[in-house]
C-alpha cells in the first residue's frame, strides 16, 4: 500500500479538512531545494517548508554538527542545569540581535515563543504591582495556535470556536501612510479606557495575512507611543527573523527596538523544532527577586534541547557567511527583475517585496480555501514547484541557496499559471 493510503488510517493533519482533502503528498526525501515524493516527483520548495529551511534541506554543515552533538549530549532538563550549546547560542544571538536584547528564554515553536512573550509582558506589570489586563495587536496579524497567540491573532478564519475564551485584545489597523493620525487617535482612546500591558506585532510584514507589507514610519510611531505609555512591545519575528527582510531581523529596519522578540522557524533551519523569546534587561529585572513567585513559571520539557541549539548555532554561522549574504542580495535583485516583467500583466493587481519575500496579488476574487486557489496549487505541483497561494496572493519565500535556474523556473510557472485563472 502506498504511504498516501497508509497515512489515511490514523493520521490527522494540521489545517486540513480531511473530507475535502483526503490525499496528502507522501514525501520520501528532501535535499537542498528539492522535495521528492513517493512516486519520484520532484518539487522546488519555493516557500522553504513554511519559511524554515533557508539553507536548503538536509544541509550537511548543519546535520553533521547535530550528528556530532548526538554523541555528546542529547537532552537534559534546562531547569537547574545548563550546557554549552545553549550558552554558545545565547552568545551568538546576542551578537546579532538588536542591541537592547539581553536575555533569552527557550521554548519549542512559534506559538509558544509568542505565548511566553505575552506572559512576560503581563507578569512584568504584575510584578511591579501594576496589573494590566489588555493587549494591543494589529487587525490581520497571525501569531500562532495556542490560546494567547490566537487571542492576539486577528485572522478569524482560524479562531471561530475559541473566541469567547480569549484574552481581551484591542485592535488597530496596520499603518499605510495615510491613516497615521487615525491610528494615533485610536491608540489614545484605547489607553484612556484600558490598562494595556503589551503590543504584539509582526514587524513590517504580516505572513499569514498573505504577506501584507505595511508602513515602517507608521510602525515607528506606534512603537514610540507604546514606549511613552509603558506598553511592552513584542516583535513576533517568527517568520521575518534570520535574513528574510534583507537584514538579520525586521526590527533592525526600525529605530525603536522592541522590548521582547519571538523567534523560531529559520532559527534551526528546519532541522529541529525550537523557539526563543528574547528580552531586554529591564524586562528580566522585573522578575529578578528574592521572592520565588516573581519568577517566570513557564517551562517546556524540551527547552534548550542541545541538538536544536547546535542546529541553531550552525544556522546562524551560515547566515553570516559571505556566500549566504551574497545569495540573499541576488534573490532580492532577481525578484526585482521578475517584478518588472510581471507587474503589468492584466491578471496581476499588485505586487510587493521586502528582502527575499515576494508577493503577487491576483486580479481575481478568490476564497482563502476555495476551488480556484486549489486549482492554482495543483498547477504548481504538477509543474514541479511547491507554492501555497494564500487566497488570491501568490508568494515566494525560497531558500537562500536556491539556484538561479530553480528561481527562474518558479517565476516561469507563476507566469504560466496566470493563463489558467
Binding site for ligand PLP (CB under 6 A): 109-111, 114, 142-144, 202, 207-208, 236, 238-239, 264
**Residues belonging to the chain:** 421
| Beta carbon nearer to ligand PLP, 121 or 418 | 121
Q: How are strands ordered across the β-sheet holding 27-31?
A: 27-31, 34-37, 42-45, 385-386
| Beta carbon nearer to ligand PLP, 237 or 286 | 237
Distance (Å, whole) CA 337 – CA 360? 14
CB of 373 to ligand PLP, least distance (A): 18
| Beta carbon nearer to ligand PLP, 207 or 218 | 207
User: Are the C-beta atoms of residues 219 and 252 closer than 8 Å to each other?
Assistant: no
| Beta carbon nearer to ligand PLP, 191 or 208 | 208
| Beta carbon nearer to ligand PLP, 239 or 396 | 239
CB of 238 to ligand PLP, least distance (A): 4
CB of 68 to ligand PLP, least distance (A): 26
Ramachandran bin of 155, using left for φ above 0, alpha for ψ from -120 to 50, beta for the remaining angles: beta
User: Are the C-beta atoms of residues 103 and 284 closer than 8 Å to each other?
Assistant: yes
CB of 130 to ligand PLP, least distance (A): 28
CB of 80 to ligand PLP, least distance (A): 27
Residue nearest to ligand PLP (CB): 110
Distance (Å, whole) CA 272 – CA 381? 26
Distance (Å, whole) CA 250 – CA 228? 22
Q: Is 333 exposed, middle or buried (0-12, 13-18, 19+ CB in 10 A)?
A: exposed
User: Are the C-beta atoms of residues 222 and 175 closer than 8 Å to each other?
Assistant: yes
CB of 288 to ligand PLP, least distance (A): 28
| Beta carbon nearer to ligand PLP, 114 or 219 | 114
Amino acid at each position: 500500500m502506498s504511504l498516501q493510503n497508509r497515512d489515511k488510517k490514523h493520521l490527522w493533519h494540521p489545517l486540513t479538512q480531511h473530507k475535502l482533502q483526503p490525499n496528502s503528498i507522501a514525501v520520501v526525501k528532501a535535499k537542498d531545494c528539492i522535495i521528492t515524493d513517493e512516486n519520484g516527483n520532484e518539487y522546488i520548495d519555493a516557500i522553504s517548508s513554511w519559511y524554515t529551511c533557508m539553507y536548503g534541506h538536509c544541509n550537511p554543515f548543519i546535520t553533521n554538527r547535530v550528528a556530532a552533538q548526538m554523541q555528546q549530549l542529547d537532552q537534559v532538563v534546562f531547569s537547574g542545569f545548563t550546557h554549552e550549546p545553549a550558552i554558545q547560542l545565547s552568545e551568538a544571538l546576542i551578537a546579532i540581535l538588536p542591541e537592547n536584547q539581553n536575555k533569552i528564554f527557550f521554548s519549542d515553536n512559534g506559538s509558544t515563543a509568542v505565548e511566553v512573550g505575552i506572559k512576560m509582558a503581563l507578569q512584568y506589570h504584575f510584578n511591579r504591582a501594576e496589573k494590566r489586563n489588555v493587549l494591543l495587536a494589529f487587525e490581520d496579524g497571525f501569531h500562532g495556535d495556542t490560546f494567547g497567540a490566537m487571542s492576539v491573532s486577528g485572522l478569524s478564519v482560524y479562531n471561530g470556536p475559541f473566541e469567547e475564551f480569549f484574552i481581551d485584545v484591542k485592535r488597530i489597523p496596520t499603518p499605510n501612510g495615510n491613516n497615521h493620525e487615525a491610528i494615533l487617535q485610536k491608540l489614545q482612546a484605547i489607553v484612556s479606557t484600558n490598562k494595556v500591558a503589551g503590543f504584539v506585532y509582526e514587524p513590517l510584514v504580516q505572513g499569514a495575512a498573505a504577506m501584507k507589507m505595511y508602513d515602517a514610519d507608521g510602525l515607528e510611531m506606534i512603537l514610540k507611543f507604546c514606549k511613552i505609555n509603558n506598553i511592552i512591545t513584542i516583535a513576533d519575528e517568527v517568520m521575518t527573523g534570520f535574513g528574510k527582510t534583507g537584514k538579520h531581523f525586521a526590527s533592525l529596519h526600525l529605530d525603536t527596538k522592541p522590548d521582547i522578540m519571538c523567534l523560531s522557524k529559520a532559527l534551526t533551519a528546519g532541522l529541529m523544532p525550537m523557539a526563543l523569546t528574547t528580552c531586554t534587561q529591564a524586562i528580566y529585572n522585573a522578575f529578578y527577586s528574592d521572592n520565588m513567585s516573581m519568577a517566570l513559571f513557564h517551562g517546556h520539557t524540551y527547552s534548550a534541547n542541545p541538538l536544536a541549539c547546535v542546529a541553531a548555532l550552525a544556522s546562524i554561522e551560515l547566515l553570516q557567511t559571505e556566500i549566504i549574504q551574497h545569495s540573499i542580495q541576488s534573490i532580492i535583485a532577481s525578484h526585482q527583475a521578475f517584478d518588472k516583467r510581471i507587474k503589468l500583466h492584466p491578471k496581476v493587481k499588485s505586487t510587493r517585496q521586502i528582502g527575499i519575500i515576494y508577493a503577487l496579488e491576483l486580479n481575481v476574487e478568490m476564497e482563502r480555501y476555495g476551488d480556484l486557489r486549489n486549482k492554482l496549487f495543483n498547477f504548481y505541483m504538477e509543474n514541479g514547484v511547491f507554492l501555497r497561494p494564500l487566497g488570491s496572493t501568490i508568494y515566494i519565500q525560497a531558500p537562500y541557496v536556491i539556484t538561479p535556474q530553480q528561481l527562474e523556473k518558479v517565476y516561469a510557472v507563476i507566469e504560466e499559471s496566470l493563463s489558467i485563472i
